[in-house]
Every structure is written in C-alpha cells, then in structure tokens.
Amino acid sequence: MSVVRSQQQVFLRLLRSLQPDWRRDLSLPQRIQHLLARDRAFGSRDRRLYRELIYTTLRYLPWIEPLLEPDPDRAVKITAWLAAETRDTLTYRTELCADWPVTTSLAQRAQFLDADSTALLPTWFREECPAVFAPDELEAQLARAPLWLRLQTDETENVAGDFSINGWNVQPSPLLPSAWQVLGEADVTKSSSYTSGRIEIQDLGSQLLLEMVGLEPGGRWLDACAGAGGKSLQLARLLGSKGNVDAHDVRPAALSELKIRATRAQTGNLRTVTKVPANDYDGVLVDAPCSGSGTWRRSPHLKWVTTPALVATRAEFQSRLLVQYAAHVRPGGRLVYATCSLSHRENEDVVQAFLAARPDYETVAFARTFGFAPQGAGVTLLPARHDTDGFYVASLRRR
C-alpha cells in the first residue's frame, strides 16, 4: 500500500470516529486534538495533514458528508482538492488531485463539483445575517483564517529581527500598524517576542473593536467578561500608564491564563478581580459570551452545532449581562458592548432592547469605522473586507 493510500485510510478512520458528534459537539476541536495526540504513530507532519483535512471536511461538510458512505474514495478526493496547499498537504494533494483543475474561487469549485455554495452555511442563518451569504463573504467563510498578531511594544525592529531569524514573513495591516499578519506557517509561541510579551495573538477584527470606539488615555475601566484577556491587554495598552483595567470573569481558569499573559506582557495597569467592586467606572466593556458565528471560518464545526435555539438562549443571557454591568458605569461614562457573533438577535436586538429600557443611555458616534457602515448604535464587522473574524460592537454613554 502506498503512503498516500495509507493516509487516505487513516483519514477515513478519523472521520468515522468524529462523525457521530460533529453536528452536536461544541467541544469538537478538543476532541480532534485529543484524537490526533493520542496516536503515537503520528508525527507532527501527520497531525498537521490530518488536522487540515478534518477542518476542510467541516468547512465543506454538506459537499462531503453525503459521499462518505456510498463513495468514500470520492469524498476523500474532494476533501484533498478543497484543502489548503501547504508543505504538509502538497504530496497528498498532488497524488490524489493531479487530474483535477486548479481553481481560485469558491464559485469555480462549486461549478466543477456541481454543488451549491450557499449550502455551506446553515440555511436558517440567512435571517440572522443575510450579508454573509454574499459571494465575497461566502468566499471568506470557506478560507483558512489568517494568523494576526498585536504588537505590545513600540520597538518593532526587535520583533521584526526575531521573526527574520526564524524565517517568518509578516505583513503589517494598513489599518493598524501594530497589527501584523503572519504569512505562511509559523509557530510564533516559540519566539522570544512571544515569551517576552512583545506580541499577542489576536485577530485583526478583535483589535479593531476598541480602536473604533475612540478611547481616551487614562481612566478606570472594567472588562466584565474578560476571558483569557486579549481585549483586556489591548485595553490596558490603549489607556496607558494613567489608566487602569479591572479584568473580571466568572471562570477562574480564564483569569489564571490572563494573569500569565499580563505578567508576560509586563502590564502594570491591569488586575484580575473575581468579584466586581461596587464602585462606578469611567468605562465598562461587555465582550459578551455568544454563539460564535463570527468565528465560523476559524471554528467551522460551530456552523453545524449552532441552532436558532442556542442563539436565542445566548441573546437572553447577553441582555442580562448588559443590564448587570451597565450599573457599574458612572454618569458620563462609556459602555461598550461586543460579540464575535453575526446574529442580529445577539447584536442589534440586544442593544435596541437595552436602549429602549434605559433612557439614561445614548449612542456615541464611532471614532473610526474602517469602511463599515454603522447601523444604529453598532457596527458589524464582516470577515471579507479586512480578512478577519466577524464581530459586532456598540458604543454607548451614560447620560
């Protein structure tokens, strides 16, 4: 049996192990990681190959899943053809797909396979965000998500030198000079720039949110749903040495990770709090837990496990969080609401309901929009425009 034929069989075995749960398991990436890590026969290149093939399957599931039982060889070939060409997939793809055309767009791939590109997103989601079904947005949804970094230092030449030594190419964003896109394959966590806190991994879209609302240096802010703290660290840097950030989350493990990141970045104006102090803040960021539809290109399994019921449940929770933490904003202070969702029920509907119930809050014009059109109090960041994940942000002030 040839090497590639053996890899095909292993790939099919992995898919069959995952198939019972890929439409219901929110934690599927952890299962994939465990599945690949526990097989000692896999080297690092094997893991990268199978990971790319598995995630390609999840991105294009409606095109591949129906063939797994009646025609597994065709399912495998289609997956290889659709997978990104990397140093780990090159030989595999070349042997399997040499007789198939090289395509440059989703429309060409759909035409060759006589498939429907709009089927690659859940049908019910069209009511939540019709814009994401436009051709350019569909194209972005099916592409691998890029790796974006945020510089936590003004001494960019040190980071550039470090990356040059490692043979890694980067490209600064024209929108934010402190945002760099990594071109090609690179494990930046192994770099001295990462271990010394000079860079953080953070999607460009995530970085744009706080830049859009126009924060003034100084002041005391609360990051109410900090998680592991990507935006907390960015917020602390934007506020500067005269500002302070209290980072709160109900998950102790997330706050522990944030403490590690803050120490690595030598962020002296940020502290983690397990209980929100009873005093008012100059600003509160509510980066609310959501369905994650803005991250579907990065986490394609979420397309198939997210349901309208889950979106409704998240929206109810987000509304409660917004009301809860709005109470901590001083008169004249700012309230920023954000999600990594593209669902109007989790975004515009939550903010509109909040404003209707709270006449003491008003909308604030955005300092920058980066080409997106504000709608009411908020802006939706669609992935295709700047090669990012999808986000929503609303900018409010307490009267």
Positions annotated as catalytic residues are 340
Q: Which two tokens stand for residue 30?
A: 């952890």
Select from 85, 340, 306, 86 the least CA-distant residue to 204.
Answer: 340
Whole-number Å distance between alpha carbons of 199 and 189 = 9
Is the dihedral angle over the CA atoms 341, 342, 348, 349 positive or is it negative?
negative
CA–CA distance, 155 with 136 (Å, rounded to integer)? 36
Strands 219-223 and 243-248: parallel
Q: Please say whether the beta carbons of 394 and 346 come within 8 A.
A: no
Instruction: Compute the 3-state secondary structure of the chain and give helix, strand, coil in percent, each to the nearest 5.
Output: 50, 15, 35
Residue 155: other Cβ atoms inside 10 A: 10
User: Distance between CA 163 and CA 198 in Å, rounded?
Assistant: 12
